[in-house]
Every structure is written in C-alpha cells, then in structure tokens.
Copies of this chain bind each other. A is one copy, B any other.
Amino acid sequence: MKIETPKGVRDFPPEQKILRQKIADNLRSIFEVYGFQPLETPILELYETLASKYAGGSEILKETYKLTDQGERKLALRYDLTVPLARFVAMNPQLKMPFKRYQIGPVFRDGPIKVGRYREFYQCDVDIVGSFNMAADAEILRIVLLAFDKLGIDVQIRLNNRKVLDSLMEYAKISAKDREAAILSLDKLEKLGKDYVLKELKDKGIKDSSIKLLLPIVSKGTNNEVLNTLKEIIPKCEGIKEIEEVLKLTGSKKIIFDVALARGLAYYTGNIFEVYSSNKKFKSSIAAGGRYDRMINDFIGRSGYPAVGIAFGLDIIYEILKEKETQKSLTKVYIIPIKTLLESFNIAEKLRKAGINTDMDLNDRSISKNLDYANKMQIPYVIFVGKQELEKDVVKLRDMKSGKEELLKVEDVIDKLAI
C-alpha cells in the first residue's frame, strides 16, 4: 500500500497549523468584538438541501461530493457555509433578528486542482441576517479594516453596487440579454486593462455606441469624482445613495468605489466588495462578499431575511503572512532533567500552571541530544534540572539565542518567562 493523502487535500503540520490557527483566532476575536456569535453547522448535509435551486447553483453542484448513508439517504459534503446558514435560519424561526453569526470551517469541492485551489479548504464567513440598513454593510467593512489591521496586512477594498451596475447597463443601452456578459467583461478591467476589455466587449457584439457611453465611466477617479459623474447620468439609481452612505459610515480612505467590480453575479443584490493586499504580488482577493437580500428568503420561502456578509480567505491570508513569520513550536521552555525526572515533572507543573508552554525530555537523552532537539524545534529557553542545583533551590536557565545561562529560583524563572 502506498501511503498518501487524496488529491487536493492537505495535512497542516505544526509549523503551518500554528500560523493558520493564529489567523483564525485573530479573526474570531474580531468577529466577537463586533458582536457576532459562533455557529457550527455539520459537514454532512442532505443532498437535496445543497441542490435547491436557490442554493449554490448548477456549476457548484457538479463539484459537490455525494454519498449515501446506510439508510440509503442521499447526502453531500457542504460546498460553502452560506447555504447551511440559510438552512439553519429556515429551521430556527425563533431566532432574534438581526442574527449576526460567524462560522469558520472546512468546505469541499471536487473540482480541478490548480495553484491555490484545493478540494478541502477553509471558509471563514461573517454575515448579518435581518437588516436592510447600510449600517450593516458598513459594519462588515469596518470588520475587514480592523481584522487586517490586527493581522498586519495593508489592504484596499473595492466597493461597487449591483444596482449601479444595472442602471449603467440601462444607461448604455445594452440589451438585457447582453448585460451579464458585458458586466463580466468590465470585471476584467483591473486585471487585464482597458484595451483588452474594449476588444472583448466588441467581440461579444456590444454596440460601439454602448461601449462609448460605458467606458469613460468605469475609468478610475476619486470616489467623489465617480459619484458626481453617476449622479449626472443615472440620478435615480438607489445604489448611489447606498454607496454614499456606506462610505460615510466607514470613513476610510482604503475603500475605493470601483464601478467595474462585478463579482459572481448570481445572488448579490446591493453592495459588493472585494479586498486585496496592497502587496501586488498577491493577485487574488483575500476577502470578498456583499449584500444578498433575496437568497435566504427564496431558499426558505418566507420573507424577512435580507443579508450582508463577507468571507475571509484563510489560505491566501496564510500565504501572505507566512512570508513574515513561521513558528515550528509554541513551546517557550524545554526542561532537561539530569537524573531528576520526578522533580523536573514538578517544576514543569509549576511553570505550566503559570501558563508557560513547557516541554520536557521524556526519553532520558543526553544533554547534547536534548540541546540539539530544543534547537531544531526553535524553543527559546532551556532549563537544566540537576541534583546539585536543586539542593540550592535553583535551576539553570539557558537563553538559546544568546547562550547566556543563569541560576534562578523557579519563581524567578516564571516571572522572567510569563508573558
């Protein structure tokens, strides 16, 4: 038997899991600080739930892992955390609105494997269900700003609005059947440039007169310049007011109103946003979301569940942060007993009770082998526990970086190593 993992799934050994966990912990604490509560839904869902016509759509269903249980019931592995949220809201009519929840967990898609695409990967979602107000959209964007500030990633947020896109299509006299195609072309402006998009629009059969109306608007300008242009040409568009209100309630220069941003067209109804690292090396978005006022209603068959949310990309955030730091071990100090196993255990216990991550030689190895181990695991401190020192009620603490050693009482070691 060849021992391996399935294609497209990964192990996260400690040196990766430590940082991934730190990112997830940071996001969690920001979500909680913003008044969101944790929800966990199962990985196994009924196939018919995920296949609902108001769920993720036919493309995603092709990539859905299906299985049957012993009762011959058709099940599937969830492909996102949004459909399960809708299913949970449907099953819990007693929920107080707005329902602000976050969920972090693995999702599954049996699709083609490329760089950065996996078949089992994490989603990290934060959503507000039950508020039509732009205050909710603003709160989501404020979370993004605070979260990336805490993670130490400088970001830019691209903001647009589906209603603005719709009004623009009408203004440019693009026929209903061509609108989706035209919007998808516009979305490539940032990545592929104006000439590329111009050609693609023409290739798609969009009239020159339409293109002439459209292209000047989607070109860059300050938020106010773009807003002023739009107020002239599509003055009645509700989306303009929504964008203005969100900009006012967030008040951050990192938010760029980008009329060319489209995102997956399927279920967004209002504001849409994509977050990018200022480090241009990382081209994919590191968080993305928007307002979807109809999806949960349609899924449940009841009204009253407008929603807005965002998903953070744990994998890409990890890729960005691992350049700055990786940690092989969370351990702060490693104890080497020298014929003092029981006494060392008791000293370790004192450090551990004080909250200091403490490891200890369990294999009765030589001092040099132990130092080598501590070194390879990048543990910053080592304590030698010898009989002679114990008689004097001290231990020897070694700073592995400087090599400096000192004799200290255990209490003083704790004071020194406690955070």
Binding site for B on A (CB under 8 A): 1, 3-7, 9-14, 17-18, 20-21, 29, 32-35, 37-46, 48-49, 52, 65-67, 69-71, 73, 75, 87-88, 90-92, 96-98, 100-101, 106, 108, 110, 119-120, 128, 130-133, 135-136, 138-139, 142, 146, 248-249, 251, 300, 329-331, 334, 341-342, 345, 349, 352-353, 355-360, 362-364, 373, 376-377
Q: Which of B5, B14, B21, B139 contacts A362 (CB 8 A)?
A: B139
Is there contact, CB below 8 Å, between B66 and A67? Answer: yes
Copies of this chain, count = 2
Which residue of chain B lies nearest to A47 when distances are taken between CB atoms in the complex?
A: B6
26 contacts between A and B (CB under 8 A): A1-B48, A4-B46, A6-B46, A6-B75, A9-B42, A11-B39, A12-B40, A13-B92, A14-B38, A33-B357, A34-B352, A35-B329, A35-B334, A37-B330, A37-B331, A43-B106, A44-B65, A65-B69, A69-B119, A96-B373, A96-B377, A133-B362, A135-B341, A135-B345, A146-B352, A249-B342
Is there contact, CB below 8 Å, between B6 and A69? Answer: yes
Residue of A14, A21, A39, A75 with highest tally of chain B CB at under 10 A: A14
A11 to B146, CA, bound (A): 29
A47 to chain B, nearest CB (A): 9
Q: For A135, list chain B residues within 8 Å (CB).
A: 341, 345, 360, 362-364
Is there contact, CB below 8 Å, between B17 and A39? Answer: yes
Contact A91-B18, Cβ < 8 Å, known A9-B44, A96-B376, A249-B342: no
Is there contact, CB below 8 Å, between A98 and B38? Answer: no
Chain A interface main SS type: mixed
Q: For A248, list chain B residues within 8 Å (CB).
A: 342
Contact A38-B17, Cβ < 8 Å, known A46-B5, A136-B362: yes
Q: For A49, list chain B residues within 8 Å (CB).
A: 1, 3-4
Q: Which of B37, B70, B142 contacts A349 (CB 8 A)?
A: B142
Q: For A300, list chain B residues within 8 Å (CB).
A: 3
A37 to B5, CA, bound (A): 21
Q: For A90, list chain B residues within 8 Å (CB).
A: 3
A28 to chain B, nearest CB (A): 8
Which residue of chain B lies nearest to A86 when distances are taken between CB atoms in the complex?
A: B3
Is there contact, CB below 8 Å, between B364 and A133? Answer: yes
Given pairs A5-B41, A138-B345, 13 additional interface contacts (CB within 8 A): A1-B52, A6-B46, A6-B75, A9-B42, A12-B41, A17-B38, A17-B40, A34-B359, A42-B106, A66-B67, A97-B363, A135-B345, A146-B349
Q: Which of B100, B119, B359 contacts A359 (CB 8 A)?
A: B100
Is there contact, CB below 8 Å, between B345 and A249? Answer: yes
Q: For A133, list chain B residues within 8 Å (CB).
A: 362-364
A17 to B104, CA, bound (A): 12
Is there contact, CB below 8 Å, between B43 and A120? Answer: yes
Q: For A136, list chain B residues within 8 Å (CB).
A: 362
Is there contact, CB below 8 Å, between B37 and A329? Answer: yes
A11 to B21, CA, bound (A): 23
Which residue of chain B lies nearest to A130 when distances are taken between CB atoms in the complex?
A: B363
Which residue of chain B lies nearest to A346 when distances are taken between CB atoms in the complex?
A: B251
Is there contact, CB below 8 Å, between A356 and B67? Answer: no
A89 to chain B, nearest CB (A): 10
Contact A110-B69, Cβ < 8 Å, known A33-B357, A44-B119: yes
A264 to chain B, nearest CB (A): 22
A172 to chain B, nearest CB (A): 34
Contact A355-B33, Cβ < 8 Å, known A6-B69, A14-B39, A52-B1: yes
Q: For A128, list chain B residues within 8 Å (CB).
A: 362
Q: For A120, list chain B residues within 8 Å (CB).
A: 42-44
A133 to chain B, nearest CB (A): 5
Is there contact, CB below 8 Å, between B5 and A142? Answer: no
Q: Which of B41, B91, B101 contacts A3 (CB 8 A)?
A: B91
A160 to chain B, nearest CB (A): 21
